[in-house]
Amino acid sequence: MWRHNPHKQQPQNLLQDAEEKEAAKEPCSTELNISNFGSFLEVSKDKLTVRYTGNGAHTNDVGSIQGNRPVPRKQLLYYFEITVLDRGENCKIGVGFTDKNFKLGRQPGWEANSYGYHGDDGKKFNNMAHGQDYGPKFEAGDIIGAGLHLGKQEMFFTKNGKHLGLAFREIVTVPLYPTIGLHSKNERVTVNFGQHPFKFDLEGLVQEEVESQHRAVHSTPMPPGATHQIVRNYLMYYGYSNTLAAFDAAAGLIAGEEASTSSREREIGPEGLALDVRKQVRQLLMGGQVEAAKRVLCKHFPELLESRTRPDLDVYFYIQCAAFIELIRDKDIEGAVKFAQEVLAPLRGLLAHRSRGYEAMLHDVVALVAYEDPQESPLAGLLDPLQREAVADVINSAIIGAAAGKIQWESRPQPALERLLQQLVGVHEELHEANGGQGEPFRLQQHLLPPRSNGELRPPPPPPSPPR
């Protein structure tokens, strides 16, 4: 399949398929780890209920048990709950998180890299034998929750659906496991790893987080007219002159019928060059009229189609591939075979010193002719209308370069909006890395793309261009 387009690289390269992200989602605990747990414990067949069988006479008579998987590192929040079925003699029940080296004969919070909230005194513990005041004690029937905000490296606990406040910050970045500790006769608890609805409104907490982020964004001051300039710069760059004129007119900056001419007169920089030509070429390509688009290019920028051995081979390569795809779309198999023999086959010699990605792309394009129904083939994405837009983007960028007298761009010009998105993603990546790689990675498509009918987000197919 066609790869990313370096001329429109920053946002498109970041809009990765949401289904691919979902497939890479980390598993989390679904049951207690029955292969390794502390003494004095009896785990039920459901692998979710545990009872203390000792007398709890000594400090070391603790029995702790962890979940069967560590907390997923790449999500915003992790949370689980326990229900106190029997408080036992002294309700020495601990709930929290511990690392894989935690001694299971100790309560969570007593050792390094462990955190706990204890039911007999309501104190919180982190690498200490004597805790700090935190919340209420536990009783039979209480539902106690433990949450880890991986984005902020903070931990909190809940009781019967009530948030008890921040317990710990600057949590260690090593993998942690949900953990329960029992330490007095007949204590019995059951754990909910999400197989049932939580007592605590976790979704509400996530929504509060999202709204807080939105408030922070909206409270950031913006220079007057900055948003308008960013949007019109984007429309200008990609040759949407009609939309640009309507946009300016709607903003009340110019009269509607004069908007197009006045806008072009005010353009500064490469984004405004050859706007009418770029608009015409884009419209033709989006309508599948590739040969007509070639004629416009030959009239205004013939060098883009003639200099086949120079770095601008991109234009010649993509427009010829697009022409072949349109023949396949029109089911003109005879014409497609002839075109492949006369036009595409000679491209192999031109691609000899280029990236292997070009040859792979050419192979995919030509292979379309082998399928009786290309729309149902593994290469159906090449027939997606969004691939027309991707080709138009490559050629649009090349026209800007040619109009500026710089066919061989070291770096193609880029709209301000895309540069901002690049910076946005880069900052979030740096913050995520500084956080030890924990917390939900920033996914641009969640903020830019409309939801599908099933509620999922799916970005457009990646635009066509070989890897550099």
Does a structural domain hold residue 24? no
Q: Does 51 or 217 have the greater pLDDT score?
A: 51
Whether the model clears a pTM of 0.85, i.e. scores above it, the answer is no
Task: Flag whether 21 is in a domain.
Answer: no
Q: What is the pLDDT of residue 449?
A: 53
Residues 58 and 169 in one domain: yes
- Asked whether residue 230 falls in the same domain as residue 169, the answer is no
Spell out the SS3 assignment of 183-211: CCCCCEEEEECCCCCCCCCHHHHHHHHHH
- Domain housing 57: 29-192
Residue 468 confidence class, pLDDT cut points 50, 70, 90: very low
Per the model's pLDDT, the better-predicted residue between 382 and 461 turns out to be 382
CB-count burial class (<10 Å; 0-12, 13-18, 19+) for 268? exposed
Q: Are residues 10 and 43 in the same domain?
A: no
In this structure, the answer to whether residues 187 and 230 fall within a common structural domain is no
Q: Does some domain include residue 211? A: no
Same domain, 186 and 282: no
The domain spanning residue 186 has which CATH number? 2.60.120.920
Q: Based on the domain organization, do 63 and 148 belong to the same domain?
A: yes
Is 460 a member of any domain?
no
Per-residue model confidence as pLDDT tens digits over 8-36? 333 333 333 443 444 357 899 999 999 99
Asked if 133 and 280 sit in the same domain, the reply is no
Is the Cβ–Cβ distance between 108 and 96 less than 8 Å?
yes
Residue 413 within a domain: yes
**b or e along 188-214 (b: 16 or more beta carbons within 10 Å of the residue's beta carbon)?**
bbbbbbeeeebbbebeebeeeeeeeee
- Asked whether 156 and 149 are in contact (CB, 8 A), the reply is yes
Based on the fold, state whether residues 137 and 275 are members of the same structural domain.
no
Residue 212 lies in a domain: no
Mean pLDDT of the chain: 83
Residue 456 resides in a domain = no
Distance, CA of 12 to CA of 218 (rounded, Å): 25
User: Bridge-partner residues for 370, per DSSP?
Assistant: none
Do both 230 and 373 map to the same domain? yes
Same domain? 156 vs 232: no
Q: What is the pLDDT of residues 424-439, one digit of tens each?
A: 888 888 888 888 888 8
- Asked if residue 177 and residue 83 are part of one domain, the reply reads yes
Lowest mean pLDDT among 74-78, 392-396, 408-412: 408-412
The mean pLDDT of 405-430, rounded to a whole number, is 75
Are both 231 and 153 inside the same structural domain? no
